[in-house]
A and B are shown apart, each in its own frame.
Chain A
Amino acid sequence: MLPGIEYFAAALTPFNVALALGGVAAGTVVGSLPGLTATMAVAVLVPLTFAMAPASALILMGAIYTGAIYGGAYAAILLNTPGTPSAIGTTFDGYPMAKRGDGDLAISAASLASVVGGLVGALALLLLAPPLAEVALAFGPMEYFWLAIFGLSLIAALSEASLLKGLIGGCFGLLLSTIGVAEISSDVRFTFGSRTLLGGIEIVSALIGLYCIPVLIDMVATPDRHLQVEAKPRGFRLREALTISWRGKINLLRSSIIGTLVGILPGAGGSIAGLVAYSEARRSSKHPERYGKGEPDGVQATESANNATVGGGFIPTLVLGIPGTPPDAVILGALLVQGVRTGPNLFTEQGSIVYTFIYGLLLATVLMLPVGLVIGRYAYRSIVTVPKAMLVPTVGFMTMIGSYAIRNNISDVVVMIVLGVFGWGLGRFGFAVSPIVLGLILGAIAEQGFVQAWTIGSAMDDLPGMFFGRPISLGIVALTLLSLFYPLLRARLPARRGVVREASYDE
């Protein structure tokens, strides 16, 4: 018997179903446009929700949120540009798939993965919210520091071509993350007296610049079509995507659980969830060499993980009143205005709101499949068939709107273009942009965690205990070492495996 099942019917009123459907569709469209994030989509909706019942308001905001996280996959697959930071990992294999003519398959695979991830996250919220909320509290500054270091160790996995170039890129990203008014110490750093740099490098506009501008320049510089036109319509290729999902069911499940857990951590978020899931998928794959070259499992790992953060993020939001992700902070604010107070007693005292919402979220997640397949099909067709002469200016225009909209600041557009051209130049010399982005995202998390842990540790006269004496920290350190040295271990393992395989051929 599922908890709060008596509220299932309340979630299924025509009004709530319409909200879930409309929310998912609108969210998908917003998320697919680089620069328009889930946070923004939810914030725009807040005034509309004042007139609604709290449960309906939550369903609408939850639906648009989950839709936006999913929609980020389209731009990642078709334009090599993550529509939201959560979709960074989707570009690694999604874009190579699109390049070889499998963009439609990548979108269907992403849709299925997003639905699975979303369901796992929402079920965790339904069944395990109070105990899982403790995870959010178990993570202190030290754990966030090590988590960021773990994230940075992914650079090693992501830059097999040249580890040195990956590390240089990562360091450059770390440097970028220090520009502007420091988040916790409020020092002004590396602005060189410029008002443009005062607010620092905004992550989303940096993403748009670094990923999208090189693609645009290449589109202009080469005469070929952006993506190949398929010979004849092939439908959704849902059957193929289902086969891939079934074959990769362990990957899907593991990635969804990673996504749920990372989503619970208030300082992390969808981008980290997707990247951790991606590297785990690659590490445990039988064919790690296919990753980064168009492996559908890579797309599915990121997409299931980032949608799982939606349900995961709601856990601390509803149980502790601590927003798990930035969109959750906006949703929490909207609830406060409505007079709904979140906290440990919300599930028991206001069960009608919480459970109606969770069933609504599950419904919205399921609806994401048909809605996503249809919108995805349309997005795919338009990117493939529109001539370059129209595609380039349209996408170029969108990159500017997107990077402006994120903070309503023209400086971010300038930064976006400068970084984009710079990223394109680096690409010529064999540098990948992902390590830079990783450094930029994780730099602030690592720095804050370090400063806080150091401050607390010195106050207690126990710096070694702080850095190396906490069980969760040690676990993350172990994972980091594994991720760093696994390529070396692996280099020895396949040799043996190869021998075995050859032997079996002999038989």
Chain B
Amino acid sequence: MRAFASLAGVALAALSLGLAAPAAAQSYPDKPVNYIIPFGPGGESDITARHQQAFYPDMFGQDLVIEYKPGGGGAVGWSQLNDYKGDGYTWMGVNLPHIVVQPMQKDVGFKTDDLTIVYMFHYTPDAIVVHKDSEFQTLQDLVDYAKANPGRVTLSGSGKATSNHIAQVLFDGMAGIKTTYVPFKGTGAAVTALLGKQVAAEWGYTSVGASHRDQVRMLAVAMDERHPLFPDVPTFKELGFELASGAYRGIAVPKSTPEELRQQISDMIGQINHDPEFRKRLENDGMAMLDVGYAEMGAFMAKMTETYHGVAKEAGIAE
């Protein structure tokens, strides 16, 4: 009996050694991962990361530690990403269009290609939001009014050279109207201006419609298909405007991170992103899910960069 036990022990040990041998990466992660958000706490990027943080320990047996490195609209964090060790224990959130548009405008300490993005997990579609008391019942109402009163429709939005701002420029062009874009410090301040009726409407996101459901009305969302949370709100495409845009979020790692580890991290984020409960929670917050892994990232980024380059020039955001 004893002999059998020790034999079994040896066999087990050999087996586990054999399994452990092929790749050190199999033991990854064996300590907490630092997940850096290049914005302050409490923003939408933070809240998204918090959702991921809640699912991570159960799936990977370690903790995901969120750290903030705000400044320069994200540029401070991104310009320092490649200074970190590429051992898989540093992740950083990345946002589109920020990482494409910022380096086009000025020297912000990084280039888009410096960032090694391993996964893009969702986007918050742009949307035109009005106060529930607004006279604009449909997108057509707003367009008609803007045509009759050029420049008089004021729309709050989050910052300049952002997804909101680009959407405003694009839509004005498509609809042949002129509206006034009023930049605010973040979506929270832009919503406050809308709720306080300081502006006629907001270029916001579907997430605004989700979190202020009782106080606002969305006129249209910039998605290919209607958002599951808002079956009654039309897309811009349905109404004849080829607009599908938003703020995309993903995760990047330092450049020195080895190839297999990049792929493994990409798979891990994908695993969280495919959890049905996780998807449901994010959709309830108004997000649209997206699954672009490490393998497809080159093509995805090339497409997005091309779009933003054209738009930014048109919008006068970049030379």
Contacts and interface: CB of A to CB of B under 8 A. Distances in A.
Interface of A: 39-40, 42-43, 46-47, 50, 136-141, 180-181, 183-186, 188, 193, 195, 198-200, 202, 266-267, 320-323, 326, 328-330, 332-334, 336-337, 339, 341-345, 407-409, 411, 448, 451-452, 455-456, 458-460
A10 B185 CA distance: 38
B72 A180 contact: yes
Contacts of A42: 41
A344 B43 contact: no
B192 interface: yes
B74 to A, nearest CB: 9
12 contacts: A43-B42, A43-B68, A140-B196, A185-B160, A188-B108, A333-B50, A339-B284, A343-B213, A344-B215, A408-B69, A411-B76, A455-B182
Contacts of B191: 322
A342 B214 CA distance: 11
Contact of A138 (B151, B196, B212): B196
A459 B151 contact: yes
B184 A184 contact: yes
B259 interface: no
B50 A184 contact: no
Nearest to B212: A321
Given A267-B189, A336-B285, A407 B42 contact: no
Contacts of B86: none
B137 interface: no
B72 A183 contact: no
A455 B69 CA distance: 31
The 4 closest A-B pairs by CB, nearest first: A199-B71, A329-B42, A137-B196, A459-B180
B73 A193 contact: no
Interface string B172-187: 0000000011111100
Nearest to A339: B281
Given A337-B47, A337-B281, A459-B180, 10 more contacts: A47-B54, A141-B198, A181-B73, A183-B159, A186-B159, A188-B106, A198-B71, A267-B189, A333-B41, A334-B50
Interface in B80-121: 102, 105-109
B193 to A, nearest CB: 7
A47 B62 CA distance: 13
Interface string B250-282: 000000000000000000000000000000010
B280 to A, nearest CB: 10
A169 B193 CA distance: 32
A456 B182 contact: yes
A266 B188 contact: yes
B202 to A, nearest CB: 13
Nearest to B42: A329
B76 A199 contact: yes
A320 B180 contact: no
Contacts of A266: 188-189, 192
B42 A322 contact: no
A391 to B, nearest CB: 30
A329 B68 CA distance: 14
A343 B212 contact: yes
A407 B69 contact: yes
Contacts of B53: 47
